[in-house]
Structure 1
Amino acid sequence: MVNTYEEAVDWIHSRLRFGIKPGVKRMEWMMEKLNHPERRLKTIHIAGTNGKGSTVTYVRNILQKAEYKVGTFTSPYIEQFNERISVNGQPIGNQELVDVVNIIKPLAEQLEETDLGSPTEFEIITAMSLYYFAHINIVDVVVYEVGLGGRLDSTNIIYPLVSVITNIGFDHMAILGETVEEIASEKAGIIKPGVPVITTASQENALRVIRQIANEKKAKMYEHNMQFTVTDYNQLETGEQFTIQTPFITIENIELSMKGKHQVNNAALAIMTVTYLKTFYSFLIEEHHIKAGLKDAFWPGRMEEVVKTPSIYLDGAHNEEGIATLVDTIKTRFTKNRVHILFSALSDKPLNKMITELESVAHSITYTTFDYERALSARQLAELSTHKNHSYDESWENALKNIKASLTDEDVLIVTGSLYFISTIRSFLKQ
């Protein structure tokens, strides 16, 4: 039994030693012991390479504006561990987390003694969330973000109202596969028989795989630029603006506060999802709920302006597709600014490609590191650089301090790379 919040979090993190174990057998075992809390929940399941967190936020905000009580399950966290399990944007309370750990911990210890072996950290947190939303803080609907892949992810224990797939890109290839088709197959593993799937995946190779799996499962498929389309896109000083057409509704002059054209795709995905719920599940969602929810939506660490003069942005571009999206945003938003970049990354990423892309838009780039076991040293990153104005500092605090001291009002600093790095920097800047 654990008695304090610190003990509870330490116990959860102790499960990290069991690594990643793809498959849902251990989840099925725990759900059986808990009398299947997942069957008591209405859920929306979101997979994809990038954009999951933003899409979760858009869906949640719209449903909240329509006065639904909405649970969310996301990863990783940016400010505090508790935010991974939230209701209407409010993280699970410290005592509630202790209470749920004391329910799940004995099951984990029993499971360790079986042939299935010890549950992982992510499996523990997933099981905690399902019990919490079903029995402790009962909600109208829960939006579940896939942790890794989809087919063998612990969240795939749920049977959702609708399945959602954002883009398909190259990340976690050692686990998910080397090709777009293999990765798409893993992501599309969340598709359930008869449950519709909505996607903004754009590569034809990926779409072919998703269509085939949806067809096999008799799941109706809604594709971006086919069944739902975006028109009249405008970049605003405060964010983005667009019009959307779906089979169920047309909405004009939608505004987003989250910056970047990619956020329009994420918002379109959310709109298609909630209008499907309105049409087929009688959710009471009106156009003004959608517009207000999208405009108010905020997700930390995604082109987040944390300092205004001079501007400092945080963006968790931690893989090849994320970097490409960030570079596109820089090219369209900061044409009159000198852009300085502070970058740190984990060792399991295609860093040569990522660094080449970043350096193409940087006036200067500084490489650094942070306290995380898979983080590369600043020197290792700098050795991959060909930029004439690059430097490195093993202390991110020193690097940040020195860059800030050199900035003028016309300069922009973008801190990017690993989400764990972004979390570290954000906590420091917010203080």
Structure 2
Amino acid sequence: MLIILRKMVLNVPGIRSASTIPSYDEAVKALNNLQSNAAYLQNVKTHNSATNTNLKDTRKYLLRSGITMEELDKLSVIHVAGTKGKGSTCAFIEAIIRKHGFITGFYSSPHLINVRERLRINGQPMPEEEFTQSFWKVYESLDKKKEHDTDMPQYFKFLTVLMFHVFLEVKVDVAIIEVGIGGEHDCTNIVRNPVCVGITSLGLDHTMLLGSTLESIAFQKSGIFKENTRAFTVSQPKEAMTILERRAKEKHCDLSIVTNYQSYNWRNGPPTLSIQSKVQWCNASLAIDLSKTWISWKTQNPNFGNDNGNNTTAPSTVTNQLNNNTTSSTEVTRDLLNASDSSTQRKILNISNSKLQTKLNSSNSASESSLEKLQCSSTISFEKVAEALSSCKWPGRTQILCGKSMDFYVDGAHTIESIEFCVSWFKDVTRNSPERRYLIFNSTGARDSLKLLKPFRTLSFEKVFFVPNVAGTISKTDQQNFSVTTQEQIRRCQWHCEIWGDGSTFANSVSEALERIKKDSSENSNLTNKPQVLITGSLHLVGAALALIDPDLTMTTNY
């Protein structure tokens, strides 16, 4: 499988061979059966018991699947948490680092159409054959070793274990990992030595799991901070920033606020982002600072992860050695290579880290900033950064698709803050436009529907459709959701209709809503322009819509 995946990385057609393993569709069905059911999720929310064993369970399943923690340490990781924009930030990071010639692995959630979107090599979702082979290899290994009938990792946890297998086998230069929920107890947080970590904008979401205040949210998200690791965050509300700074200090983690997007060393001014909306500027800044840190580290450690016996140092440790004025990184690396055994190497690192910590404690932020610019200036190309940011594709986020019968404005906003940004973006891009506007909306979980819907009142919609996350005319196994049943979604949609009142209606699927919009438009023959359809409230709803209007995620539509 490694040979096949490496061929995929190098854009060489893979070798397809006859196999008796079950099909891709069967793999997705087996994966779906690992989804947490609604009753289980409610128990977690009520008692908050499962999260406390999440990391322990993930390590257990990882070991059962054939990977030790020491082997996992060979992955060079960038870890990103946050409430809003962590997927976009990771997509920007992936594009920047790939543009500099490195092999990237990118793990994200949720997927829009195909589950393979969650595991990307060099920006491309895993091909079906390779995904299927990897899936059954890990699944069968875990199934054989289970101690009782339900002793299997749940959906996201299984995919996380699978991701580690794939990225290690392909030997990606960097693993860009988006946190699932929270950070402190998220199963991706078994990573012990990330090169750097990032925190995107924080807000209230998943409050039954993470807490109902910004302070509690910040505490959970900062759980990805690791000792001697570089951390970056965008500007945060004061109460959140206080927690992030305190946690960074407790964990001996070097925390910085990112540079203003317009202040980088752009040759021709800041590039226009491919993901529209000014709110993405802070995500791009976070991506740039994380990419700069990783590329700088990689330049100093080109052979990290190779099985050559010399590579026992954690990436985060070496990253911080680069910031030390008292002990040069060249001297440390030379001493490590000359050490006779791992014990001697650890002593060298302990001495170096001690000197480093003393230096960091006495440094001011200005000198650190200058040193960072100095160390990165020769390793990152802002021309390549600009190209990456302007060409990065991340469907379903402030996305415009101009079709034959209507124009679509698609955004996966699902928190109060992101909904407000979505409304602002939609106003901007449809300003002075006389077309009829329609809203297709859904929201699941314990979110406050009244607050989520309020910002949309400022927009003049001809009609508002409340729709479950169902495409309608097609049925993809990848989009089955056992955590929230369709019946539960229908009840919530009907409640949304009651909240909105006049001008709202229920539709059984996205397809039904679009057909009704078509009919409404055709009945108004005096209209010369296409209707404008805003689809938002849930990334799962966005996925169902894109399965209809852009099933191959080409960023275009003929609908």
- TM-score under structure 1 normalisation? 0.88
Partner SS, residue 15 of structure 1? coil
The alpha carbon displacement at 1:95 in A equals 2.5
Query: Between Structure 1 and Structure 2, which shows a larger proportion of helix residues?
Result: 2
- Give the equivalent residue in structure 1 for 2:468: 369
CA distance in 1, matches of 2:295, 2:135: 35
1:204 is matched with which residue: 229, 238, 241?
238
CA distance in 1, matches of 2:531, 2:128: 41
Give the conservation status (yes or no) of the 8 Å contact 2:271–2:386: yes
Cα shift readout 1:1-57 (whole Å, capped 9, x = no counterpart):
952212222211111146564221112123334233421211100111111111111
- Give the equivalent residue in structure 1 for 2:188: 155
CA distance in 1, matches of 2:189, 2:296: 25
The alpha carbon displacement at 1:375 in A equals 2.1
Give the conservation status (yes or no) of the 8 Å contact 2:86–2:178: yes
| 2:534 is aligned with 1:422 | no
Give the conservation status (yes or no) of the 8 Å contact 2:510–2:544: no
Partner SS, residue 414 of structure 1? strand
For 1:149-298, what aligned pairs fall within 5 Å after superposition?
149-158=182-191, 159-224=193-258, 228-230=259-261, 243-245=262-264, 252-282=269-299, 284-298=379-393
Cα shift readout 1:166-189 (whole Å, capped 9, x = no counterpart):
111111111111111111111110
| Consecutive unaligned residues in structure 1, runs of 5 or more | 231-242
Partner SS, residue 540 of structure 2? helix
The alpha carbon displacement at 1:105 in A equals 2.0
2:423 is matched with which residue: 308, 327, 332?
327
Cα shift readout 1:135-177 (whole Å, capped 9, x = no counterpart):
1x22111100111111111100112110011111111111111
The alpha carbon displacement at 1:72 in A equals 0.5
| 2:507 is aligned with 1:393 | yes
For 1:315-354, what aligned pairs fall within 5 Å after superposition?
315-337=411-433, 339-354=437-452
The alpha carbon displacement at 1:196 in A equals 1.2
| Consecutive unaligned residues in structure 2, runs of 5 or more | 1-19, 42-49, 301-378, 471-480, 522-526, 552-559
Cα shift readout 1:166-218 (whole Å, capped 9, x = no counterpart):
11111111111111111111111011111111111521111111111111111
- Give the equivalent residue in structure 2 for 1:236: none
Give the conservation status (yes or no) of the 8 Å contact 2:266–2:383: no
Partner SS, residue 328 of structure 1? helix
CA distance in 1, matches of 2:207, 2:149: 28
| 2:410 is aligned with 1:314 | yes
- Give the equivalent residue in structure 2 for 1:8: 27
Give the conservation status (yes or no) of the 8 Å contact 1:63–1:289: no
Cα shift readout 1:273-320 (whole Å, capped 9, x = no counterpart):
112224444384311110000000111111212225642111111222
One-letter code of the match for 1:393?
A: A
Give the conservation status (yes or no) of the 8 Å contact 2:466–2:505: yes
Task: Give the greater-gyration-radius structure (CA).
Answer: 2
- Give the equivalent residue in structure 2 for 1:234: none
- Give the equivalent residue in structure 1 for 2:92: 58
1:383 is matched with which residue: 498, 502, 508?
498
- TM-score under structure 2 normalisation? 0.69
CA distance in 2, matches of 1:366, 1:116: 39
One-letter code of the match for 1:298?
A: K
The alpha carbon displacement at 1:107 in A equals 4.2
Give the conservation status (yes or no) of the 8 Å contact 2:184–2:223: yes
Give the conservation status (yes or no) of the 8 Å contact 1:168–1:201: no
C-alpha change, 1:362 and 1:165, in structure 2 (3 Å) is farther
Give the conservation status (yes or no) of the 8 Å contact 2:194–2:229: yes
CA distance in 2, matches of 1:368, 1:32: 42
What is the aligned length?
411
Give the conservation status (yes or no) of the 8 Å contact 1:72–1:87: yes
CA distance in 1, matches of 2:242, 2:270: 32
Give the conservation status (yes or no) of the 8 Å contact 2:61–2:153: no
Give the conservation status (yes or no) of the 8 Å contact 1:147–1:153: yes
The alpha carbon displacement at 1:244 in A equals 2.8
| 2:232 is aligned with 1:118 | no
Give the conservation status (yes or no) of the 8 Å contact 2:260–2:282: no
C-alpha change, 1:82 and 1:120, in structure 2 (3 Å) is same
The alpha carbon displacement at 1:115 in A equals 12
- Give the equivalent residue in structure 2 for 1:300: 395
Q: Percent identity?
A: 25
One-letter code of the match for 1:144?
A: I
C-alpha change, 1:85 and 1:138, in structure 2 (3 Å) is same
CA distance in 2, matches of 1:427, 1:155: 28
| 2:56 is aligned with 1:35 | no
Query: Between Structure 1 and Structure 2, which shows a larger proportion of strand residues?
Result: 1
RMSD: 2.4
The alpha carbon displacement at 1:333 in A equals 2.7
Partner SS, residue 228 of structure 2? coil
